[in-house]
Structures are given as C-alpha cells and as structure tokens.
C-alpha cells in the first residue's frame, strides 16, 4: 500500500454498472436466473488511486505492453473474498494486459471514493476500477495481481456474465462458445417516474441517466410521451455550469450523463426513453430481442406507464 500511495494519484469519475441491471424487467418476459435488480444496480463516483499502468511499471512491464517477454497477455485480479461459486476459493477476474498497461484506459488501483478512504462495502483497503466495463471486473478487497497467459479461468469469467441469444437455455448452453462480457452497451433509464406512476395533468419533468461502455459518450437521449409515436430530445448534463458535449475534452468519458425534459401530459400514457452513444449505437426496442437466460445487458427502451389524475395525490 505504501508503494502504491507513493505513485502519482489520479481521480477518475466513473460509472459502475452491474451487467444484471434491469434484470427484473427481463424476467417479466421469461424467467431468468440471477438477483432481481430493477434500474438501480448502477452508481457513479470519483475514484482516487494509482493507475494500474504505473504499478505494472514497478515490476518491469512498460506502458502500452500487450504481451510480456514471458507471454503474459492478461492481468488477473484476485480478491480476498471467498465465494461458493469458486468452491470456497477467491473471487477473481481479468482484463487484457493491453488495457491494463494503457494509461488512457484509466484502470485504477483505488483507495479513495469521493475524496474519502474506501469503506468496507466498497472494497477497503484497495480495489480495482475498470472504467467502461461491467462491474464484475472491478474486483474489490484486492489481494493479488497476476500476469497470466490466458484470460482468468474463474467462474465469473467462464461460466457467468456472457451474452447468449434467446434460443439458448440451461439444457443446451455451452459456456465455451462465448467470450466474457467486458464493455457495457448504451443504456438509458427514467428515474423521476416509477412504473406505474400517478401524475397530475400538466407539465411533468422526465429525467434519468444514460451511460455507455468503452468510454463512449452520450450523443442523444430521446423521450416519447405517447408510447413511441413522436419523440423529443432531452437536455444532457454532467457537470454543473458546463455544457455537456459528447466526447469533449472536459467531459468525463467514463461517467454517466443525466438527462431531463419537461412534457405536457394530459392523459394516461406510456413514457419511453432511449439513448444513442457517440458511436451511433442504439438501444433495442423490445426486451424480448435481448432476452438471455442469465438476464444480463437489458438495454431495451425504458418504459414507464403514467396515469393522469385530477384527484388529490
């Protein structure tokens, strides 16, 4: 820890999102296996710590290395946390060495969160932050880092958090046919209204978050208040007093973007939000199109039903 703290400290604002965010909505289509997250398996924070690329240099691995002289191509993070899926062994995950050794990827060995020491729940005393990647790879309670030739063979890399088509079920699944999920796709969620909400007819604020993996910004958020017949563009923001522009130098490329729009709602309807990222990636319209047996990566259009009522709320 002393050696790590003596390295230059960087603050990186990054969103961590569970691959199973919005799993509950996917279960309503067809039952999936996993914790029933609604729309809040996500968070944004300022993480403070040393860049992993600097730490790797301490052991003789230069920046921007993709293969070490001994054939190492992946960096494995091993937690002190033990889990039944590993038969009592430690939780572990890995990322490519080319990502770990790239300072621009902002992979951190973090010891602070929002300007304060990590608390126990968030991984004290040291955790990994892998921005733009599903939260399962940002290992907490770090015990060891290994440079390995093949990607981590742990349970959560090889038999979980992989994206399968709707045709795959627990009888015909072959985990070896899919790569471990890394970047998360473009996502958008309405937070100011729940499904189902009662609103007083008139002006209604619709707001929430949008995020995309891999450092991609949010180019647009579209909102419909008539079930998708017509659309309006929402305003986007990230920092107070600074106009958000996707991929601008003063934007936080690893952080979520907040959106807001006010609409006139006079009757019961369905409100929808969808986002477009800076690579022009879009969200699928229906959850059925991305259904998978583990219920991961539900990035379908987010829908909430609202009931207009003139009665006292």
106, 84 in Cβ contact below 8 A? Answer: no
Query: 130-175, pLDDT tens digit by residue?
Result: 999 999 999 999 999 999 999 999 999 999 999 999 999 999 999 9
- Smallest CA-to-CA distance from 108 within 216, 251, 11 is with 11
The β-bridge relationship of strands 74-82 and 142-148 is antiparallel
State whether 85 and 197 are in the same domain: no
Whole-number mean pLDDT of the chain?
96
- Smallest CA-to-CA distance from 8 within 77, 63, 45 is with 63
State whether 79 and 151 are in the same domain: yes
The β-bridge relationship of strands 302-308 and 197-199 is parallel
Confidence of residue 197 (pLDDT cuts 50, 70, 90): confident
State whether 126 and 57 are in the same domain: yes
State whether 213 and 122 are in the same domain: no
Structure tokens at 183: 């970047």
Q: Which of 159, 176, 198 is the last residue of a domain?
A: 159
Instruction: Please check whether residue 228 lies inside any domain of the structure.
Output: yes
> Residue 310: what pLDDT?
77
In the chain, the largest separation of any two C-alpha atoms, in whole Å, equals: 72
Instruction: Please check whether residue 13 lies inside any domain of the structure.
Output: yes
State whether 9 and 143 are in the same domain: yes
Structure tokens at 171: 């009888």
How many domains are contained in the chain?
A: 2
Instruction: Please check whether residue 222 lies inside any domain of the structure.
Output: yes
For residue 26, the SS3 value is helix
Query: 77-90, pLDDT tens digit by residue?
Result: 999 999 999 999 99
Instruction: Please check whether residue 172 lies inside any domain of the structure.
Output: no
> Residue 313: what pLDDT?
47
For residue 258, the SS3 value is strand
Report whether pLDDT(312) > 60. no
Rounded-to-integer distance, Cα 4 and Cα 58, Å? 10
Confidence of residue 7 (pLDDT cuts 50, 70, 90): very high
Which range of residues forms the domain containing residue 77? 1-159
> Residue 84: what pLDDT?
97
| 146 Cβ contact list (under 8 Å, min separation 6) | 75, 76, 78
Report whether pLDDT(221) > 50. yes
Rounded-to-integer distance, Cα 26 and Cα 28, Å? 5
Q: Buried b / exposed e across 102-126, counting CB within 10 Å, b at 16+?
A: beebbbbbbbbbeeeebeeebbeeb
Rounded-to-integer distance, Cα 122 and Cα 229, Å? 43
Instruction: Please check whether residue 102 lies inside any domain of the structure.
Output: yes
Report whether pLDDT(45) > 60. yes
> Quick one: what percent of the chain has pLDDT higher than 70?
99
CATH at residue 4: 3.90.420.10
State whether 9 and 129 are in the same domain: yes
Average pLDDT over residues 224-251: 94
State whether 200 and 114 are in the same domain: no
Instruction: Please check whether residue 57 lies inside any domain of the structure.
Output: yes
Query: 88-119, pLDDT tens digit by residue?
Result: 999 999 999 999 999 999 999 999 999 999 99
State whether 10 and 148 are in the same domain: yes
> Residue 117: what pLDDT?
98
State whether 155 and 285 are in the same domain: no
State whether 136 and 5 are in the same domain: yes
State whether 128 and 265 are in the same domain: no
């Amino acid at each position: 820890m002393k050696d790590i703290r003596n390295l230059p400290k960087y603050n990186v604002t990054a969103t961590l999102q569970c691959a199973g965010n919005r799993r509950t909505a996917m279960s309503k289509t067809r039952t999936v296996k996993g914790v029933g997250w609604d729309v809040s398996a996500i968070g944004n924070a300022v993480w403070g710590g040393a860049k992993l690329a600097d730490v790797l240099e301490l052991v003789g691995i230069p920046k921007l290395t993709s293969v070490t002289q001994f054939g190492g191509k992946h960096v494995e993070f091993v937690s002190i946390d033990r889990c039944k899926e590993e038969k009592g062994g430690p939780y572990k995950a890995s990322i490519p060495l080319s990502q770990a050794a790239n300072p621009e990827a902002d992979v951190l060995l973090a010891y602070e969160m929002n300007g304060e020491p990590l608390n126990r729940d968030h991984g004290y005393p040291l955790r990994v932050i892998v921005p733009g990647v599903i939260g399962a790879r940002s290992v907490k309670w770090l015990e060891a880092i290994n440079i390995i030739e093949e990607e981590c063979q742990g349970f959560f890399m090889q038999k979980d958090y992989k994206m399968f088509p709707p045709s795959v079920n627990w009888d015909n699944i072959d985990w070896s046919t899919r790569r471990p999920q890394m970047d998360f796709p473009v996502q958008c969620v309405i937070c100011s209204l729940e499904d189902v909400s009662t609103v007083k007819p008139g002006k209604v604020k619709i707001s929430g978050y949008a995020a995309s993996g891999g450092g991609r910004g949010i180019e647009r958020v579209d909102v419909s208040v008539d079930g998708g017949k017509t659309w309006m563009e929402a305003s986007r923001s990230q920092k107070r007093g600074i106009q958000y522009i996707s991929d601008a130098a003063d934007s936080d490329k690893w952080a979520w973007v907040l959106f807001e729009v006010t609409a006139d709602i006079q009757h019961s309807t369905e409100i929808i939000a969808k986002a477009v990222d800076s690579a022009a990636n879009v969200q699928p319209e229906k959850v059925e199109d991305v259904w998978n047996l583990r219920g991961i990566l539900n990035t379908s259009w987010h829908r909430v039903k609202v009931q207009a009522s003139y009665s006292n709320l």
